[in-house]
């Protein structure tokens, strides 16, 4: 296989980069070791940043977020809900911070307006009635999987190839320039070699490992681990932020039918092993109570962790990831390691993914002596051409139209049988977990307790897979869901989990179905 450019990593940065490269007329291949957005871009908070969070701590990031969130809401309309957001001063928070916030917002071009506490409480009745001040901003919610697939589909429409489940093992050079990317096709267990003129390393928290596979000096990407917890209701309709210097658990994001509290920020050693410690879970729930009294009475239904790909910043200590710049950085390995045709990108946010791509592809063009302008800000991705953002009710509307003709497979997320079968046809070798990322099947309050068995049944019934493979798919899916359940087993979630356990283990004996052992393996 040959290509002008190989992009490594299928998170938001990688798909943004391959889209940009393809739109500038280069032949391009993206290689991702798992499914698209299975790394940080699928394990984040879901906030389309207005920039408000950074107006005091990192004005440059604030400005970038303000500009890029408007672009993302337009070109990825179908992945964005324009919820709006509030920054509120909690009962014990310093009310003076709101003045610094407003000044910072004005200086960095982040739209922000103070509103009365009464108005905030009228529009968000669950908010703590003891809040002291409220500022309205343009925060939104972004579905990371939808965004990543939208950008990937756009790249494909411009001629790029996307190879998932291809892990880069080696990057070979000839005469001081990269020449071949060597990968393992994990589904076929075969080696794949891609001859190319340029490699763009967008492997997020794993970017250091990929640079090492090219023989470079270690790139200091410091994985800043953060946990998040989904609560079983949409407790608020706007993003609610604490109006304080960024801290743990200060943002509550309404994402589709649930709300997500987060996050922490602790230096991790290995982005493949991210702990969800009980004390951090407790801290998130305590922080939720400050914003929404009675927060703990909602059921915590899933916890997960992601790792920020932060480039080491000499201004702060190497372990202080909270205060490292969220700004993006491009590393040129020709200067640094004597290997031409290789650039690494790190830092940034999902919100600024398009701008990150523009920067690294501009640098590649500069090194190649090509003058090809970036056009990614002006063209909507497939499915978003109409410019309509989604609302939480969008699937209700769809099911209203087809409820008499179609079976509902997942009641929590209103996934129909035909949606599921369509996705299976498009990804015949996909796992149930891969399909979950695109359909949200199993992501609501029952966490797959009811719909996972139906989904596996439909896959077998429709002749897509045989019974053994069906059990494997089910086993893998359940294993993945369980990882996020263990850290939050308390209160009503214990009852829900016991019910699911009885259905799946007690009645269906899923652990002893043919293929169950193989299915228990988690793809990573
Ligand atoms: C806790 C937390 C909360 C966050 N919240 C927000 C938020 O609300 N809003 C926001 O805008 N941003 C948020 N961010 C930041 C945002 O999620 C990240 O900046 C962004 O997702 C990074 O994307 P990426 O493509 O660079 O990395 P990733 O999404 O991690 O992609 C890197 C990819 O490289 C692949 N890869 C690794 N090694 C190899 C290999 N050898 N071969 C092939 N592929 C490989 C991985 O599988 C992975 O898919 C948050 C981050 C964290 C950790």
Dihedral of CA atoms 145, 376, 346, 245 in degrees, nearest 10, equals -80
Q: What are the C-alpha distances in Å from 161 to residues 4, 164, 446?
A: 12, 10, 36
Q: Could you give the CA distance from residue 477 to residue 320 in angstroms, rounded to a whole number?
A: 35
DSSP string, 223-282: EEEEEEEEESS---SSEEEESSSS-TT-EEEEETTEEEEE---EE-S-TT-----HHHHH
CA proximity to 229, closest of 266, 270, 272, 263: 263
Ligand 1 atom closest to the Cα of residue 349 is 19
287: Cβ contacts below 8 Å, ≥ 6 apart: 242, 248, 249, 250, 261
User: How big is the CA angle at 34 (ends 164 and 196), to the nearest 5 degrees?
Assistant: 45
CA of 126 to the centre of ligand 1 (A): 32
Has residue 329 got a pLDDT over 60? yes
CA of 36 to the centre of ligand 1 (A): 10
Whether the CB-CB separation of 114 and 98 falls below 8 Å is answered with yes
Whether the CB-CB separation of 250 and 335 falls below 8 Å is answered with no
Per-residue pLDDT, 317:
46
Has residue 46 got a pLDDT over 60? yes
State the pLDDT confidence band at 513, using cuts at 50, 70 and 90.
confident
Ligand 1 atom closest to the Cα of residue 308 is 53
Quickly tell me which residue has 């069906």 as its tokens. 470
Measured in Å, how far apart are the chain's first and last C-alpha atoms? 25
Per-residue pLDDT, 370:
97
Per-residue pLDDT, 519:
53
User: How big is the CA angle at 506 (ends 504 and 509), to the nearest 5 degrees?
Assistant: 65
**Encoded tokens for 319:** 């372990």
Whether the CB-CB separation of 266 and 157 falls below 8 Å is answered with no
pLDDT, the chain, mean: 93
> What are residue 88's DSSP bridge partners?
134, 242
Ligand 1 atom closest to the Cα of residue 326 is 19
CA of 178 to the centre of ligand 1 (A): 24
**265-288 mean pLDDT:** 95
Interval 16-43: pLDDT, tens:
999 999 999 999 999 999 999 999 999 9
CA of 225 to the centre of ligand 1 (A): 11
**Encoded tokens for 31:** 């290689």
Which residue's CA is the closest to the ligand 1 atom numbered 9? 47
Has residue 322 got a pLDDT over 60? no
Q: Could you give the CA distance from residue 135 to residue 116 in angstroms, rounded to a whole number?
A: 8
Largest separation between any pair of C-alpha atoms in the chain: 68
Q: Could you give the CA distance from residue 252 to residue 286 in angstroms, rounded to a whole number?
A: 12
Which residue's CA is the closest to the ligand 1 atom numbered 21? 41
Q: Which of 44, 168, 280 to mutate to test the pocket of ligand 1 (most atoms within 8 A of CB)?
A: 44
Ligand 1 atom closest to the Cα of residue 352 is 11
CA of 170 to the centre of ligand 1 (A): 21
Indicate the SS3 state at residue 27: coil
**Ligand 1 contact, 226 CB (< 6 A):** yes
**272-288 mean pLDDT:** 95
CA of 40 to the centre of ligand 1 (A): 3
Has residue 73 got a pLDDT over 70? yes
Whether the CB-CB separation of 67 and 50 falls below 8 Å is answered with no
Per-residue pLDDT, 423:
95
Per-residue pLDDT, 208:
93
Per-residue pLDDT, 523:
42
**253-266 mean pLDDT:** 94
**227-252 mean pLDDT:** 95
**Ligand 1 contact, 47 CB (< 6 A):** yes
Give the chain's length. Answer: 524
Whether the CB-CB separation of 167 and 75 falls below 8 Å is answered with no
Has residue 522 got a pLDDT over 50? no
Per-residue pLDDT, 320:
46
CA proximity to 473, closest of 453, 499, 501: 453
360: Cβ contacts below 8 Å, ≥ 6 apart: 17, 200, 202, 330, 343, 345
CA of 398 to the centre of ligand 1 (A): 31
CA of 433 to the centre of ligand 1 (A): 18
Whether the CB-CB separation of 79 and 146 falls below 8 Å is answered with yes
Q: Could you give the CA distance from residue 288 to residue 255 in angstroms, rounded to a whole number?
A: 16
Has residue 503 got a pLDDT over 60? yes
CA of 13 to the centre of ligand 1 (A): 8
**388-408 mean pLDDT:** 91
Q: Could you give the CA distance from residue 519 to residue 434 in angstroms, rounded to a whole number?
A: 13
**Ligand 1 contact, 264 CB (< 6 A):** no
Q: Supply the DSSP symbol for 40.
A: G
Interval 180-219: pLDDT, tens:
999 999 999 999 999 999 999 999 999 999 999 999 988 8
Which helix (H) or strand (E) segment holds residue 305: the answer is strand 300-311
**Encoded tokens for 389:** 């953002």
Has residue 252 got a pLDDT over 90? yes
Interval 102-151: pLDDT, tens:
999 999 999 999 999 999 999 999 999 999 999 999 999 999 999 999 99
Q: Could you give the CA distance from residue 379 to residue 361 in angstroms, rounded to a whole number?
A: 17
- Proportion of the chain above pLDDT 70, given as a percent: 96
**Ligand 1 contact, 9 CB (< 6 A):** yes
Per-residue pLDDT, 72:
98
């Amino acid at each position: 296989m040959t290509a002008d450019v190989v992009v490594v990593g299928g998170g938001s940065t990688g798909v943004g980069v391959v889209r940009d490269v393809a739109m500038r007329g280069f032949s391009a291949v993206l290689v991702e070791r798992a499914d698209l957005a299975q790394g940080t871009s699928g394990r984040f908070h879901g906030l389309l940043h207005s920039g408000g969070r950074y107006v005091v701590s990192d004005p440059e990031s604030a400005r970038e977020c303000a500009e890029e969130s408007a672009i993302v809401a337009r070109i990825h309309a179908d992945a964005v809900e324009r919820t709006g957001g509030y920054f509120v001063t909690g009962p014990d928070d310093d009310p003076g911070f709101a003045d610094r916030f407003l000044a910072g917002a004005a200086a960095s071009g982040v739209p922000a307006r103070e509103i009365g506490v009464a108005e905030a409480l009228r529009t968000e009745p669950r908010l703590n009635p003891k809040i002291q001040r409220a500022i309205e901003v343009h925060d939104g919610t972004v579905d990371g999987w939808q965004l990543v697939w939208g950008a990937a589909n756009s790249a494909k429409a411009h001629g790029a190839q996307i190879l998932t489940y291809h892990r880069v093992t080696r990057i070979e050079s000839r005469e001081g320039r990269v020449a071949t990317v060597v990968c393992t096709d994990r589904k076929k267990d075969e080696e794949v070699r891609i001859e190319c003129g340029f490699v763009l390393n967008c492997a997020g928290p794993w970017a250091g490992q990929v640079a090492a596979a090219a023989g470079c000096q270690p790139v200091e990407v410091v994985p800043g681990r953060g946990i998040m917890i989904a609560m079983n209701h949409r407790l608020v309709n706007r993003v609610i932020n604490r109006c304080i210097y960024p801290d743990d658990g200060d943002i509550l994001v309404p994402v589709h039918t649930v709300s997500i509290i987060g996050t922490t920020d602790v230096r991790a050693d290995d982005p493949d092993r991210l702990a969800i410690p009980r004390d951090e879970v407790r801290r998130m729930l305590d922080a939720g109570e400050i914003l929404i009294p009675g927060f703990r009475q909602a059921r915590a239904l899933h916890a997960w962790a992601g790792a920020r790909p932060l480039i080491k910043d000499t201004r702060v200590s190497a372990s202080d990831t909270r205060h490292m710049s969220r700004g993006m950085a491009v590393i040129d390995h020709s200067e640094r390691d004597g290997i031409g045709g290789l650039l690494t990108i790190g830092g940034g946010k999902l919100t600024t993914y398009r701008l990150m791509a523009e920067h690294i592809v501009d640098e590649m063009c500069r090194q190649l002596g090509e003058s090809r302008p970036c056009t990614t800000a002006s063209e909507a991705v497939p499915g978003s051409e109409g410019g309509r953002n989604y609302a939480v009710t969008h699937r209700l509307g769809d099911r209203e139209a087809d409820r008499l003709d179609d079976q509902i497979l997942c009641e929590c997320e209103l996934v129909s049988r035909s949606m599921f079968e369509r996705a299976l046809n498009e990804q015949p070798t996909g796992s149930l977990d891969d399909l979950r990322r695109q359909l949200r099947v199993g992501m609501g309050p029952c966490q797959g307790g009811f719909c996972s068995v139906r989904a596996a049944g439909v896959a077998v019934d429709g002749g897509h897979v045989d019974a053994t493979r069906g059990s494997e798919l089910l086993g893998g899916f359940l294993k993945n869901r369980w990882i996020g359940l263990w850290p939050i087993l308390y209160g009503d979630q214990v009852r829900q989990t016991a019910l699911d356990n009885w259905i799946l283990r007690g009645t269906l004996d899923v652990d002893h179905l043919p293929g169950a052992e193989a299915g228990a393996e988690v793809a990573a």
